[in-house]
Amino acid sequence: MNSLKKPQKKKVLLMGKSGSGKSSMRSIIFSNYVAKDVRRLGATIDVEHSTVKFLGSLILNLWDCGGQDAFTETYLTSQKSQTFSDVGVLIYVFDVESRSFEGSNPRDLLTYTAVISALAEYSPSAHVFALVHKIDLVQNVFRDSVIQDRTLAIQEYSGVFSKKLKVYGTTIWDQSLYKAWGDIVKSLVPNLHIIDGYLHDLAEETSAEEIILFERATFLTVTNVTSELGERNPYSDRQERLSNVIKTFKHSLSKYTHSSTASHPFSEIAIKAPRFNLILARLTNNTYVLVILPPGDLEIELSRFNIMAAKDRFVELDIMGWAAGDTERLEGKLNGRIKDGR
């Protein structure tokens, strides 16, 4: 339990060739950019450090490493130990359109191997995610086969990480980005099993078909509980789809109310439909919970109470992650906020 008392700092390296889209995806996931805004981004010079709080308790130290050859060289030589030590996750971005990926001179893959071997030397326990980015430039019918080809090629060059490696096809223009980043972040959340347990309890109380816990700022899925009935849902990509649509809606709300995108956008969305009930409500300061219920007026009102009742437990969990000294101050603040909101 001791480990939960301190904020967890994890180092996340974002690497890949220049212009492959590293900063774009970072801005969309963590800085509330919409896809078309990334045009404004310039090239990243050297390393851009940013700290992102996820779920309040988890602090991601994001190293966005500029991908121009000169920079890459310094990471691999003079700054090697500094860059590659204590890495929690390496995210390597490949541009799907890159001309130097395969063939006689696979420069992309060779750089990747160099990065991988440096990582193996300094942080052998790190997770590695490879994103085949800009997949929207490939026509729909070819996407799967392209991703498959690339996966094989990347695996071949991954050395000791080839077993742990996960490859995703992504694009900033649809939900695939959320799928990849959801998984990345999941691999970093320390107290996931506790949250999972609480969520199971909540699911039983509310007889919900599905409960998904979203992080507030990014709307990435933290974890989910799905009942037997819910498993039969034909849409297997629903989590990332929801992340995507809710985030879009959040932008639209903040545009309407002229408020910052980082603030709490709404306290609740409820949908009563003939086949299901849906509540997306603010659970704690850092999370939103989505509950899918069977149809009917009664169910939605009842589970609203259940969610309210569950709030306290989740709030505790949030606080556990904070530094011990902060706890009291925050508790006061949180309670105040919960009274204001619903």
> Minimum distance between the CB of residue 39 and another protein, rounded to whole angstroms?
12
Nearest to another protein of 2, 140 (CB atom): 140
Of 317, 290, 312, 154, give the one whose Cα is nearest residue 226. 290
Q: Which of 197, 332, 336, 341 binds another protein (CB under 8 A)?
A: 341
> Minimum distance between the CB of residue 95 and another protein, rounded to whole angstroms?
17
**Dihedral (Cα; 303, 305, 306, 307), 10-degree rounding:** 90
Using CB under 8 A as the binding rule, the residues of this chain from 40 to 99 that contact another protein are none
Q: Are 115 and 67 in contact (CB under 8 A)?
A: no
Q: Which of 39, 275, 324, 339 binds another protein (CB under 8 A)?
A: 275
Q: Which of 144, 257, 309, 335 binds another protein (CB under 8 A)?
A: 257
Nearest to another protein of 70, 141 (CB atom): 141
Q: Which of 211, 242, 283, 334 binds another protein (CB under 8 A)?
A: 242
> Minimum distance between the CB of residue 97 and another protein, rounded to whole angstroms?
14
Nearest to another protein of 76, 278 (CB atom): 278
> Minimum distance between the CB of residue 128 and another protein, rounded to whole angstroms?
29
> Minimum distance between the CB of residue 20 and another protein, rounded to whole angstroms?
19
> Minimum distance between the CB of residue 331 and another protein, rounded to whole angstroms?
23
> 3-class DSSP state for residue 165?
coil
Inter-axis angle of helices 22-30 and 176-186, nearest 10 = 80
Inter-axis angle of helices 238-257 and 176-186, nearest 10 = 100
234: Cβ–Cβ under 8 A, 6 or more apart, which residues? none
Of 1, 309, 12, give the one whose Cα is nearest residue 185. 12
Task: Spell out, one character per residue from 291 to 310, where the chain touches another protein: x when CB under 8 A holds, - when not.
Answer: -x-xxxxx------------
Number of neighbours of residue 218 by Cβ within 10 angstroms: 22
9: Cβ–Cβ under 8 A, 6 or more apart, which residues? 59, 61
Residue whose token pair is 């990014």? 218
Binding site for another protein (CB under 8 A): 36, 136, 139-141, 173-175, 209-210, 229, 232-235, 238, 241-242, 245-246, 248-249, 252-253, 255-257, 259, 265-276, 278, 292, 294-298, 341-342
